[in-house]
């Protein structure tokens, strides 16, 4: 696996190294040793799948607070997504900034999301599916979010937003620490 740290500290794009032959290819998509060597939390408490019927669907921006602050390894296993992360850690040099990457079933990239970094995506194709490996169990009392269209972040979604949940639309504007 190849690891590339992105502009938000602790966020890694993970590319599987393919071993190809006449059958196709084989590639590791998770390795406890390689991830731990980079200081990444390798616990897996649960795995989740998000299936999205329509192109333009937005999910996010979600994160969790202690004691259930979660780390995620995200992959798009069908279709394609525009994946966005917002650094909400006040002590981070990237605090308040966001980045975006495209994940799809063809590039097979993984995205490691540290705790206190909000995560969301927009589907770029109908019938897109996203797989999450989560470091902690979901705790609704610790679940938080910021609005995907919050002017504080000025996220530019690549397509018209066709579907978003009422919950995601109702998150309050972020109040960023100075």
Which residue(s) pair with 24 in the sheet? 21
Q: How far, rounded to the nearest angstrom, does the alpha carbon of residue 75 sit from its chain's CA centroid?
A: 8
Catalytic pick from 62, 82, 98, 119?
62
Residues 158, 18: Cα–Cα separation, whole Å: 29
Q: Which long-range contacts does 152-156 make (Cβ < 8 Å, 24+ apart)?
A: 152/96, 152/176, 153/61, 153/86, 153/96, 153/98, 155/84, 155/86, 155/98, 155/100
Kindly report the CA angle at 105 between 121 and 119, in degrees rounded to 5?
20
Catalytic-residue membership of 62: yes
CB burial readout 129-143, b (16+ within 10 A) else e: bbbbbbbbeeeeebe
Residues 44, 177: Cα–Cα separation, whole Å: 31
Which residue(s) pair with 76 in the sheet? 130
Catalytic pick from 19, 98, 132, 138?
132
Catalytic residues: 62, 132
């Amino acid at each position: 696996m190849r690891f590339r740290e992105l502009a938000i500290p602790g966020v890694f794009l993970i590319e599987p190294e393919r071993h190809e032959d006449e059958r196709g290819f084989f590639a590791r998509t998770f390795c406890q040793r390689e991830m731990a060597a980079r200081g990444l939390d390798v616990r897996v408490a649960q795995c989740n799948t998000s299936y999205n019927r329509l192109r333009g669907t937005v999910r996010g921006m979600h994160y969790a607070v202690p004691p259930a602050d979660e780390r995620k390894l995200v992959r798009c296993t069908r279709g394609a997504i525009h994946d966005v992360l917002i650094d909400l850690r006040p002590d981070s040099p990237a605090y308040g900034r966001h980045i975006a990457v495209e994940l799809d079933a063809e590039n097979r990239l993984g995205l490691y999301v540290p705790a206190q970094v909000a995560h969301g995506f927009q589907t770029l194709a109908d019938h897109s599916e996203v797989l999450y490996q989560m470091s902690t169990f979901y705790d609704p009392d610790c679940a938080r979010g910021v609005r995907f269209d919050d002017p504080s972040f000025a996220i530019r979604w690549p397509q018209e937003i066709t579907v978003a949940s009422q919950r995601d639309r109702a998150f309050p504007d972020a109040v960023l620490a100075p």
